[in-house]
Amino acid sequence: MKQTRSLLLLTMFTVAANLLTVTAFAQSAQPAPTLVSVVDRDVSNIEKQMLDVAEAMPEDKFNFSPEKLNIPGGDFKGVRTFAEQLKHVAASNYLIWMRLSTDKPPAELNDGKGPDSVKTKAEIIQFLKDSFAFGHKAVATLTTANMLQVPEGSKSTRLRLAEFGAAHAYDHYGQMVEYLRMNGIVPPASRGN
């Protein structure tokens, strides 16, 4: 009899806790997360970070690289300029996410360097924005049924490609934050409200 009461109390407690969770979730007016919404949020987060650092760097500093500082013991010979970093991220976004999409990327991705014709701050930022728009569309094609499929021309699953686009951009974001700091600019994410 005690075991039955304990089991009944435990069941009632579990149901009540679940109801409270469901009620709280329903009151938050937020839809339940989906595979696409979670991955798309990752893409949106790095998109904002990348665009913020791109906007923060003055156009006259877009050709900056640490090589120009001549830091003793520093081996920065041949590293990308700030502009080249941005163009590389944008071109790589297309190259990584194109395996998920039926849309075609721009023709001149230049082995991940981006188009030679894209030179000004405005053009580079637009190229970057367009690459993230392409990424959002590509991520929207993910489903629980296809996320573990390996698309033609790839060795990675669709889910891995979707997340790798964001991870790759974060790697370069970290480098560009340092480029800002080397120019006396506090990165937007480090500024107070």
What Cα–Cα distance (Å) separates residue 130 from each residue in 23, 28, 93, 94, 133?
39, 32, 10, 9, 5
Select from 65, 58, 44 the least CA-distant residue to 169. 44
pLDDT, tens only, 55-110? 999 999 999 999 888 788 888 888 999 999 999 999 999 999 999 988 889 888 98
Residue pair 46/166 in contact (Cβ under 8 Å)? The answer is yes
Indicate whether 106 and 144 sit together in one domain.
yes
Q: How many residues does the chain have?
A: 193
Indicate whether 102 and 182 sit together in one domain.
yes
Q: What pLDDT does residue 193 have? A: 66
Structure tokens at 114: 């981006």
Q: Residue 1 sits in which domain range?
A: 1-30
pLDDT at 19 exceeding the cut of 80: no
Instruction: Tell me how far apart the alpha carbons of residues 153 and 151 are, in angstroms, rounded to a whole number.
Output: 6
Q: With helix as H, strand as E and coil as C, how does 20-53 read? A: HHHHHHHHCCCCCCCHHHHHHHHHHHHHHHHHHH
As a whole number, the mean pLDDT across the chain is 86
How many domains does the structure of the chain reveal?
Answer: 2
Q: What pLDDT does residue 7 have? A: 40
Q: What pLDDT does residue 174 have? A: 94
Indicate whether 175 and 123 sit together in one domain.
yes
Strands (E) in 125-190, as ranges, are none
Indicate whether 172 and 102 sit together in one domain.
yes
